[in-house]
Structure 1
Amino acid sequence: MRYIPLKTIAVLLMLLTSMSSCKEETSNKVLYLGHTLPQSHPVHKGILEFQKALEAKSKGTLKVKIFPDAQLGSEREVLELLQIGSVAATKVSAATLSNFVPEYHILGIPYLFRDKQHQFDVLEGDVGKSILEKGSKFWLRGLCYYDAGSRSFYTSEKAIRTPEDLKGLKIRVMNNQMAINMVNSMGGSATPLAYGELYTAIQQGVVDGAENNPPSFVSSNHYEISKYYTLDQHSSVPDVLLIGTKFWNKLSDQEKIWVQEAADESAQAQKKFWNDSVEESMRVAKAAGVEIIIPEKSLFAEKSKSVVEDFVKEFPEMAPIVTQIKNN
């Protein structure tokens, strides 16, 4: 008999309660969407646009019920709920998704994209759409990408101006092999750590710093205890809006068109929400006395070349995709 974690049972009970209290007409379909972000986050605002657009296009026959703030569990836990059909949709980082769909590893390669324009030319083009479709065989169909910015280093005591400044520093990273290899290749000591433990870890000197995008740097309050923010922009891992194939396959052809169109429209709206959030986050950080450092990014890119080489050796079948992206 398969063991079902107590947390999963609790989530399923909550969903059943929500379903039973829903007063929609029986002809309506309700898309339950869970994610881990707070409601103030620009990605959540993008999801609200998806909700609004889908309900408008379907004239209310397709409803979206959103569960933010990790109400349904971690990113990995919600992905598993999608796979068994208990939840219809979610938003996760491509880094988390790479543990389910290998092709998403590509999007975590350091300095893969030349700039923001290049990134979205790729993601919204043939390569990006192909990667979204790869998840279907794992019951996780990608709908669109949301801007999650670029990740950069921040530290509490020592400024990072060149890769050499990373030597001897313990830098918190996601529990993701690409991120670990990248920091180590630059001379730092990559330290995987739960995000919720990071504020205290920096404060107590367990780690010397971390890496993330500006909105996360500020919303987590890490700017309060980190004096330096180095905008080396080493990776630009997008978020992905997904729908479980168990729910997708229940939709009519017209409903599938509405869902995809609503997702695409929400992705364009979310870019503006993200840009506004970055500007406000940088303003808050500067006002708090954080030194913003603009380094020579090519020095960091050069140090991380071995990460790309090792990745291509491990996944030779993905080498053509990496080359296609770089030549785009």
Structure 2
Amino acid sequence: MKNRLFHILILIIFLQSCKEDQTTKTLYLAHNMPQTHSVHKGILEFQKALRLKSGGKLDVKIFPDGQLGSEREVLELLQIGSVAITKVSAATLSNFVPEYHVFGIPYLFENKQHQFDILEGDVGKSILEKGSQFWLRGLCYYDAGSRNFYTSKKAIRTPEDLKGLKIRVMNNQMAINMINSMGGSATPLAFGELYTAMQQGVVDGAENNSPSFVSSNHYEVSNYYTIDQHSSIPDVLLIGTKFWNTLSDEEKQWIQAAADSSAQAQKKFWNASVEESMAIAKAAGVEVITPEKSLFQERSKSVLEQFQKAHPEMQSLINSIKK
């Protein structure tokens, strides 16, 4: 039934497109974020820039809030050409393009400047293009900040404070290894179950960026937020190659230029959302802690070593990033 309704929705979209001005080509863009999120605001900038750069020949119809399905479902729509563009986490894309796994390595980037020098340089662009063999071409990276610890009963000031604590993580081996290497007990759990799990003491804490910490209301069941910045996994704006290959060279240039412009705008929106979310958390009584990051970095070195042994083919990529 779900698939049937899904295909009916796509048919409705197609019929709507038949009624549009034939001088304008419309790109359908779907994502899972709420309209208050920096990603949606960045996508609105993409829409505005594309209209301007194409002189109205290209337009974007946006479907936010998961209207067209989950991240995985929308990726499948891109692959068959029913939807043109979406935004997903680089962690999700690692299931298709192994190189995206690298972004999950703890403390891979020295700071945000280093991160975006890499992402917007030759290394980052080459990874974006690798998805084309899976019909998923990357256009640009969006800022998704850094992941930090938050806990309910005990402040995390050093890695030793994690000992004995059950920390919720994504169901991702590198994330599990990272928490365990620092002395915590990694506990994979669905994000939607986390609020209740913290409330009932099933887990002692979790890790995520500050806008997610606040938008999920997890600050209501947490007393401490520790900005250790252990990983910085970006989001990726993608276009399906089925659609991309129907475009002229000029149209491709307009889309890429609009995407690049939106990426710069989204970073500013993201920084504003971080400031806003931290202000909300502090006002609610959450203690915000800035620890000595080098202590956490030292304890998590084994995660990189394990990854290098399991994926020796990634060594040159890691070297390119670290140098």
Normalising by the residue count of structure 1, what TM-score does the alignment of the two structures yield?
0.95
Whole-angstrom distance in 2 between the partners of 1:285 and 1:200? 18
1:162 to 158, 163, 169: 158
Pair 1:94-2:90 in alignment: yes
C-alpha distance after superposition, 1:69-96 (max 9, x if no partner): 1112221221122112221111001011
SS at match of 1:117: helix
1:123 is displaced (CA, Å) by 0.4
1:97 is displaced (CA, Å) by 0.8
Pair 1:14-2:14 in alignment: no
Q: Which runs of 5+ in 1 are unaligned?
A: 1-5
Partner of 1:314: 310
Q: Which moved more, 1:40-49 or 1:24-33?
A: 24-33
1:303 to 299, 304, 323: 299
Q: Which moved more, 1:64-73 or 1:149-158?
A: 64-73
Pair 1:258-2:254 in alignment: yes
C-alpha distance after superposition, 1:128-147 (max 9, x if no partner): 00110111111110000000
Pair 1:178-2:170 in alignment: no
Q: What is the aligned length?
A: 322
Pair 1:35-2:31 in alignment: yes
1:278 is displaced (CA, Å) by 0.6
1:280 is displaced (CA, Å) by 0.8
1:19 is displaced (CA, Å) by 2.9
1:239 is displaced (CA, Å) by 0.3
Partner of 1:71: 67
Pair 1:130-2:126 in alignment: yes
SS at match of 2:285: coil
Does the 8 Å contact 1:30/1:65 carry over to 2?
yes
Whole-angstrom distance in 1 between the partners of 2:183 and 2:140? 35
Q: Which moved more, 1:114-123 or 1:185-194?
A: 185-194
Partner of 2:271: 275
SS at match of 2:106: coil
Whole-angstrom distance in 1 between the partners of 2:247 and 2:34? 29
Q: Which runs of 5+ in 2 are unaligned?
A: none
Whole-angstrom distance in 1 between the partners of 2:236 and 2:203? 29
1:10 partner letter: L
Partner of 1:142: 138
Alignment of 1:170-209 (within 5 A): 170-209=166-205
1:18 partner letter: I
Partner of 1:152: 148
Whole-angstrom distance in 1 between the partners of 2:42 and 2:197? 31
Q: Which moved more, 1:310-319 or 1:242-251?
A: 310-319
1:159 is displaced (CA, Å) by 1.1
1:50 is displaced (CA, Å) by 0.6
2:12 partner letter: T
Q: Which moved more, 1:138-147 or 1:76-85?
A: 76-85
Partner of 1:80: 76
Q: Please report the RMSD computed on the Cα atoms of aligned residues, expressed in angstroms.
A: 1.2
Whole-angstrom distance in 1 between the partners of 2:48 and 2:5? 28
Whole-angstrom distance in 1 between the partners of 2:249 and 2:4? 33
Alignment of 1:176-255 (within 5 A): 176-255=172-251
